[in-house]
Structure 1
Amino acid sequence: MSSLNSSSDRPLTSVLIPLYNHALYIVECLDSVLAQGPANIELVLIDDGSSDDGFSIAQRWKEEHGNRFPRIEFERQVNAGITQTYDRLLRKSTGNVILVVASDDVLMPESIISRLSLLGEPGVMAVFADAIPIDGQGKVTGTSAISELGQPSSRAALADQRTLPWELIFRWNVYGSVLLYRREAVLKPDGNSVLNLDIFSEDMQLYYLFGSRGSLRYLNQPVAKYRVHGTNTSHTQENVKKLRKNIYQSRRHAMIGMPFWRRAVVAMQAFTYHRWGTGWRKRLCLPMVAFAYMGILTARLIYDFYRTRVLRQARDV
């Protein structure tokens, strides 16, 4: 039995919280970390230049509950963005296992322990799961973010190692603070991050990277509550262009370690970004963008035939 499964010898888990303008939600988020039960947790929070009083609220919470953690560190910085804040949090942490929790999300009871059990299996470097959607007031609005929000993903396909990487490519639809991974999975031997820190967000980079390595597993249960509200980073109008570019750059970055056929499909997906261009460049690219979409559609039809007819997976999307 792996030590990750032993209640008396769990690895130190670093819970990292990038706080940004979530004064209304940060206490509930921190309380959910505190309520994780007999897990060995250090808590590191960085406020990324918020304009509200969320950091002051977090500091008061730390004064009241900080003695419950073997290590706790809260600090502020000038706004640096999601990926840079993530990298700084990672470098300030000391745990063997990493969990990044958005400051407006809420962890479910035993969220960490349930994922640690799967992380303890041979060859597994990262585990992700589902989330329960909630609104700005904390009201539950669904049962599965993966299958109900955005373009639904197949949970049956995610649970099968043969199709998990392809499902992430064709139906990227992961929400919330659901990814737990080993420290060495995100740091190179020289101590540098495996991420491209110039890209707006880190999530797609990580999932594609772990999926390409064959070290990612899906736990088919909710481990967090994902809050959908008007101030979600991904929902603000000012970030729409950044997010489009983020997807393009993340796909280009992720292609590096992919097998040939996955790389070909992701390259076509990345190329479709040019439909958002302007002027003569957009006009020149549009025929090729249309050709790329045809290639993506054909590949997805083949994939869906394979998973439903050959592998006999459930038709859950």
Structure 2
Amino acid sequence: MKPLVSVLMPAYNHERYIAQSIESIINQTYKNIEFIIINDGSKDNTWEVIKSLEKKCIGRFVEVKLATQINRGIYDTLNKLVSLSSGKYIYFIASDDIAKPNSIEILCTKLESDYNLVVAVGDSEIIDDNSNQIAWDIAQNPVDLDKGYVTFWQYFVAKHPRLRAIDKNLDFFGAYRTLLKGNYIPNGALIRSDALKNIDRFTNKAPLEDWYMHLQLSKMGKYKFIDEVLFSYRWHSYNTIKNKKLNRIKVIKTKRYEFYQRIKFIIKNYIFLKK
């Protein structure tokens, strides 16, 4: 039997999109999936939409865990999702994004082929509120497809010259030193569970949770980038990434916390002051 994959979905105020997100997991070509969703105190009908699809999920997945809670925030919710998972691999998906039907199968095949890999990820396209594909200009404004960058990786390489060398030699993709200047890993990554459960927990001290997670995972093993669109990332008026000032503050806090953790590790493991 193929290994179990735990798909983890934190849900918050996405009544308009979550059915499409759940259906994208139901429609995966990969069959051995455990699906865990936590509704983090949504103020709209997100939980009702989740419950309306419960029977369909139970008929599709080997294990289904649905829970609702008072709002605890993204960090606690992600930690709880990870603690509930039992798969060999973990796949995070936000409750407004969409996974391509063959994404988990492609990524799992890649991880199974090389134990040195801790993460496999494809490229992400960008979609709008109505699930239409859009492009970004260099300032991340939505533009027509023929006037901008249509995937995450295209955008990152154009925006950050340092990534052009990685684009020419993907052996360096996901290397720790290349991630220190900023996160460039697209959404929709499949992660080796034993690696994820042996790094630091999600915390508000590192508010860019994806970036901090990848900084930790990059120390555990190698990354594999698959140059194929396997994920649809939704860009709409509620994206927190759009608040550029707030995002800059989060970058500073996350980087500061990472350096603090590195110093703690060095002191604990490499400095001996014995006389």
Q: Same fold (TM over 0.5)?
A: yes
| Separation in 1, partners of 2:196, 2:53 | 30
Q: Secondary structure of the residue that 2:125 maps to in structure 1?
A: strand
The match for 2:143 is none
Q: CA deviation at 1:28?
A: 0.6
The match for 1:232 is 239
How many correspondences in the alignment?
242
Asked if 1:212 corresponds to 2:219, the answer is: yes
| Separation in 2, partners of 1:156, 1:127 | 20
The match for 2:29 is 37
Correspondences of 1:1-317 after superposition (within 5 Å):
9-120=1-112, 121-142=114-135, 143-148=150-155, 151=159, 154=163, 157=166, 160-162=170-172, 164-165=174-175, 166-170=177-181, 172-176=183-187, 178-188=188-198, 194-199=200-205, 200-235=207-242, 237=243, 241=246, 243-255=247-259, 256=261
Q: Secondary structure of the residue that 1:223 maps to in structure 2?
A: strand
- Give the number of the structure whose residues are more often helix, by fraction: 1
| Separation in 1, partners of 2:11, 2:128 | 18
Q: Secondary structure of the residue that 2:180 maps to in structure 1?
A: helix
| Separation in 2, partners of 1:201, 1:80 | 17
Unaligned runs of 5+ in 1: 1-8, 259-317
| Separation in 1, partners of 2:193, 2:124 | 23
| Separation in 2, partners of 1:11, 1:155 | 35
Q: Secondary structure of the residue that 1:225 maps to in structure 2?
A: strand
| Separation in 2, partners of 1:181, 1:43 | 15
- Give the number of the structure whose residues are more often strand, by fraction: 2
The change in CA–CA distance for 1:64 and 1:212 in structure 2 (over 3 A counts) is: closer
Q: Secondary structure of the residue that 1:45 maps to in structure 2?
A: strand
Q: Is the 8 A contact 2:79 2:202 kept in 1?
A: no
Instruction: Return the TM-score normalized by structure 1.
Output: 0.69
Unaligned runs of 5+ in 2: 136-149, 264-275
Runs of 4+ in 1 over 6 A off after TM superposition: none
The change in CA–CA distance for 1:119 and 1:170 in structure 2 (over 3 A counts) is: same
Q: Specify which structure has the bigger relative contact order, considering alpha-carbon pairs within 8 angstroms and separated by 6 or more residues.
A: 2
AA at the equivalent of 1:228:
W
CA offset digits 1:267-305 (Å, max 9, x no partner): xxxxxxxxxxxxxxxxxxxxxxxxxxxxxxxxxxxxxxx
AA at the equivalent of 2:81:
L
Instruction: Return the TM-score normalized by structure 2.
Output: 0.79
The match for 2:139 is none
